[in-house]
A and B are shown apart, each in its own frame.
Chain A
């Protein structure tokens, strides 16, 4: 199985400041079809997860443009350009290139 490793696991951020979460996979996530199926999810307290980013860098509909994804191969990053109060929650990367799909451990974002 592909192991997904996130860092940091806890991220205290000042409102209005940027935040960055790293996600590394144990194998390349480039699929045989040429696409890279790396997704980012946000889970706010008491809510279901919500997908923010798919295929590394494509933002889902309705996701604020302060969220961006980048990376390739085995190294990926989620960035929040200016953290807002509503961004508090746990963020997960997930690979769907190879089954079983696998999630990172999650990164808890909190306001300082």
Chain B
């Protein structure tokens, strides 16, 4: 059974940093690209970032480019999202998903950016 378990969310002040993790199991992690998606309160889903299988190529939404960094450790079947210079509008539930087409999703981790 495919499982994706996000962690690392919490309350952070504007301008602060946070690092999210997504532990994967039930599939060969290194053979799939991985995606981060978020949903802000009262808003719809927003695609955030994607990384290829080897971790050598990443792409970001304009809203997070230059502030967020996606990475992965295939030996530990774990996906990461380093979030710097956080803003109030980054407040959201962050989901990791398997593949370009988001076949499976985790339960999400809540990030709150507030003073």
Contact = CB atoms under 8 A, between A and B. Distances in A.
Given A48-B108, A54-B101, A54-B103, A100 B60 contact: yes
Interface residues of B, number: 22
A107 B68 CA distance: 29
Contact of A51 (B50, B102, B106, B107): B102
Given A54-B101, A100-B60, A48 B95 contact: yes
Contacts of A51: 101-105
Majority secondary structure, A binding face: loop
9 contacts: A51-B102, A92-B44, A92-B45, A101-B35, A101-B102, A103-B45, A103-B46, A104-B44, A105-B44
Interface of B: 35, 37, 39, 44-47, 50, 59-62, 95, 100-108
